[in-house]
């Protein structure tokens, strides 16, 4: 059997293209699922308002309802990577902190050419991400709640524009259970604070590591400069 360099090059290029068109940059790690930070990227989340919004087809949920969740770019940025989850929007109470576990499941995925399910924490279709590393202005997904679920929820999204630029914590308005007639009691504000805290924890871990390395590097350079000066005297 003769060696064919051209065939080898084609095989390598095909493998590279297959890798690039996978659901980069999200996986099913704890960082992806809990903090909604893309584990395959090394940069920090962007600060400030995100140039995207997330909207829901209804402001309530209940048994048998399917909600359409839409993430849309509001400026010149585009959607290359995306993860969406539904989570509790209940206020934290003593002994009952806000859960980071995803709620419900995403449906109607068989014919989708843009989105694929992620089984975060072994919960079937509990999150959804992009199928290909493409360029889009709008992405939609269909979500359905479990029959026993009556909590107030919110949808959260992380959107990636490129390999160095992404936003975490983009969220919808509070979606109430169909039986819930309570007035707005500040739940959105409290949930927002807890979400920012969990996101910033992941960001600060990376940021602190970077600061530590920077400090070590500065110390080494200073010592080298000092020793050089002593030797040259």
The tokens for 19 are 């890798």
Helix (H, G, I), strand (E, B) or coil at 84: strand
Question: What angle is formed at CA 201 by the lines to CA 100 and CA 79, rounded to 5 degrees?
Answer: 70
The first and second tokens of residue 228, run together, are 């050089």
Number of structural domains found in the chain:
1
In sequence order, which ranges of 87-137 are alpha helices (DSSP H)? none
CATH code for the domain in which residue 105 is found? 2.60.40.4060
179's tokens: 């039986």
Domain limits at 145? 5-232
Q: Which of 130, 17, 28 is nearest to 79 (CA)?
A: 130
pLDDT higher than threshold 90 for residue 28: no
pLDDT in tens, 179-196: 987 665 445 444 444 444
In a 3-state reduction of DSSP, which class is residue 131? coil
Per-residue pLDDT tens digits for 76-129: 999 999 999 999 998 877 777 777 899 999 997 766 678 889 999 999 999 999
Distance (Å, rounded) from C-alpha 91 to C-alpha 189?
A: 9
The secondary structure element, H or E, covering residue 141 is: strand 138-144
Instruction: Return the minimum-mean-pLDDT range out of 39-53, 73-87, 155-169, 170-184.
Output: 170-184
pLDDT at 145 over 70: yes
**What secondary structure letter does DSSP report for 93?**
B
Global confidence as pTM: 0.70
Q: Given a cut of 50, is residue 65 above it in pLDDT? A: yes
Pairing mode, if any, of strands 176-177 and 60-61? Answer: parallel
Pick 54 or 231 by higher pLDDT.
Answer: 54
What is the pLDDT, as a whole number, of residue 92? 79
Structure tokens at 193: 């604070």
The answer, yes or no, to whether residue 155 has pLDDT greater than 70, is yes
Q: List the one residue out of 50, 135, 19, 37 whose CA is nearest residue 83.
A: 37
Q: Answer with the residue of higher pLDDT: 226 or 174.
A: 174
Euclidean distance between CA atoms 113 and 176, whole angstroms: 30
| Each residue's pLDDT tens digit, 49-62 | 999 999 999 999 99
């Amino acid at each position: 059997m003769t060696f064919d360099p051209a065939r080898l090059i084609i095989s390598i290029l095909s493998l590279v293209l297959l890798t690039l068109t996978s659901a980069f940059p999200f996986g099913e790690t704890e960082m992806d699922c809990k903090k909604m930070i893309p584990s395959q990227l090394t940069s920090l989340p962007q600060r400030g308002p995100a140039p995207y919004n997330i909207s829901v087809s209804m402001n309530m949920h209940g048994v048998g309802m399917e909600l359409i969740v839409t993430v849309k770019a509001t400026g010149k940025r585009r959607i290359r990577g995306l993860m969406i989850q539904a989570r509790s929007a209940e206020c934290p109470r003593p002994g009952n902190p806000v859960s980071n576990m995803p709620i419900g499941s995403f449906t109607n995925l068989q014919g989708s050419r843009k989105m694929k399910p992620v089984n975060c924490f072994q919960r079937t279709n509990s999150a959804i991400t992009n199928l290909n590393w493409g360029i889009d202005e709008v992405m939609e997904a269909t979500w359905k709640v479990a029959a026993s679920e009556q909590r107030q929820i919110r949808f959260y999204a992380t959107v990636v524009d490129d390999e160095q630029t992404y936003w975490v914590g983009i969220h919808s308005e509070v979606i109430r259970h169909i039986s819930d007639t309570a007035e707005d009691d500040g739940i959105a504000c409290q949930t927002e604070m807890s979400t920012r805290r969990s996101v910033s924890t992941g960001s600060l871990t990376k940021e602190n590591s970077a600061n530590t390395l920077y400090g070590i590097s500065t110390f080494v350079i200073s010592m080298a400069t000092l020793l050089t000066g002593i030797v040259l005297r």
